[in-house]
Amino acid sequence: MHMRRAFYIGRFQPFHLGHQAVLEMIAKEVDEVVIGIGSAQRSHELTDPFTAGERVMMIRHALGNSGIPHYAMPIEDIKQNTVWVAYVTARTPPFEIVYSNNPLVIQLFKEANVKVKQPPMYLRSQYSGTEIRSRMLKGEDWKHLVSPEVADVIEEVNGADRLRNLAMSDDP
């Protein structure tokens, strides 16, 4: 049987309900989803607090009960856009379509003659990694913006405390 596979990439800092809504939509159109965890080498930064392994955990637990067949794979940055599509396809299961709203991702795959679809945005002002990290830093509520399983992973690794510690300065 021919499996239809899609590719979806993000940094997932953290994996939130907007990502999950997009994946549920994609799963209706293909058999399996290859999820690229971008900037995989980054962690412990204000814009990228979680490790690749922690992001794998978030996705595994969030999608565990949803029946979305997927492979979540860390993808490290390569600072050479001309070879990025080949770099990605060399380390992922084969896919025939890409879902993205990121202009660079769209441009690079289109130039490589890969079909690209732009999924709709779900309540982008709330469901945004930037918004969630900002709430964590300020000690505001953020758990309603991620699935309970993702909230558990973030709690397990003390994610909000980590962000607040990263924001401190050693200058007087």
Using CB under 6 A, list all residues that contact ligand ATP.
10-13, 18-19, 22, 100-102, 121-124, 127-130
Quote the tokens at residue 29. 């159109």
Q: How far is the CB of 43 from ligand ATP (least distance, A)?
A: 13
Cis-peptide into 14, omega within 30 deg? yes
Minimum CB distance to ligand ATP smaller for 5 or for 19: 19
Q: How far is the CB of 98 from ligand ATP (least distance, A)?
A: 10
Q: How far is the CB of 32 from ligand ATP (least distance, A)?
A: 18
**Maximum pairwise Cα distance, the chain:** 64
Secondary structure element (H or E) that encloses residue 34, with its range? strand 32-37
Q: How far is the CB of 31 from ligand ATP (least distance, A)?
A: 21
Minimum CB distance to ligand ATP smaller for 91 or for 124: 124
Minimum CB distance to ligand ATP smaller for 11 or for 61: 11
Quote the tokens at residue 31. 């058999």
Q: Decide: residue 56, CB within 10 A, 0-12 exposed, 13-18 middle, 19+ buried.
A: buried
Minimum CB distance to ligand ATP smaller for 48 or for 170: 48
Minimum CB distance to ligand ATP smaller for 18 or for 159: 18
Q: How far is the CB of 113 from ligand ATP (least distance, A)?
A: 20
DSSP string computed for 61-120: HHHTTTT--EEEEE----S-GGGHHHHHHHTS---SEEE---HHHHHHHHHTT-EEE-PP
